[in-house]
Every structure is written in C-alpha cells, then in structure tokens.
C-alpha cells in the first residue's frame, strides 16, 4: 500500500485518505460487507439491526400508509441483494402495493 501511495504522490494523483483501506480480507462496499476468506458477502450488523427495528415497528401497527410500506419495501429490496432467495417473499409486498389506490391503507 505504501508503494502505491508513493507512486501516486510522484505522479501527483490525489488520494483521499478516508477512502483508502489497507490490506484486509473484509471490506464494506456500497453498504455490503465482502469477506474474501469466507468467499461470502453479508449485510453489516448495523444494517441488520436497523432493518429488524423497522420490521418490528411495522408489525406493531394496525394500519400503515402506502408511503411507509414503500419505505420498508425499499429497505427490504436492498437486503435482497445479499439474501437472494428472499426476493420471492418481497414480491408479495410489491403485489399488495400495486392493488392499493389510496395512500392511507
């Protein structure tokens, strides 16, 4: 890594220190944690916790607005990038939203 930064400075290529990460086997890219040792990818713990809280809040409500449902589906859609089989279950939410005409169901 030091060789690369030296070459970049010699060529006057600007590097942002906050975007550089040293040699590692785990890297977070686009809010998805990549693990090269396990050859796996997953959601970071903070994303999982946030998603769990959102789902629990939604389950505790008797009624939700269309906007609230759309926001939850957006977060679940992001999680489906990592959890591929879950797309089948997310489709039910999308089908339910298509049938809604009023924003206050």
Instruction: List the alpha helices (DSSP H) in 1-105.
Output: 2-10, 45-59, 66-80, 87-99
Q: With CA atoms as reference, report the closest residue to 20 among 37, 42, 5.
A: 5
Supply the pTM of this predicted model: 0.71
Tens of pLDDT, residue by residue over 42-79, are 999 999 999 999 999 999 999 888 889 999 999 999 99
């Amino acid at each position: 890594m030091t060789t690369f930064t030296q070459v970049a400075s010699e060529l006057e290529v600007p590097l942002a220190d906050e975007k550089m990460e040293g040699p590692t086997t785990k890297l977070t890219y686009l809010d998805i944690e990549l693990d090269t040792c396990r050859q796996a990818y997953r959601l970071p713990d903070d994303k999982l916790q946030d998603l769990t809280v959102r789902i629990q809040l939604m389950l505790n409500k008797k009624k939700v607005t269309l906007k609230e449902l759309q926001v939850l589906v957006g977060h679940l859609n992001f999680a489906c990038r990592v959890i591929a089989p879950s797309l089948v279950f997310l489709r039910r939410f999308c089908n339910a939203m298509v049938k809604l005409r009023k924003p206050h169901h």
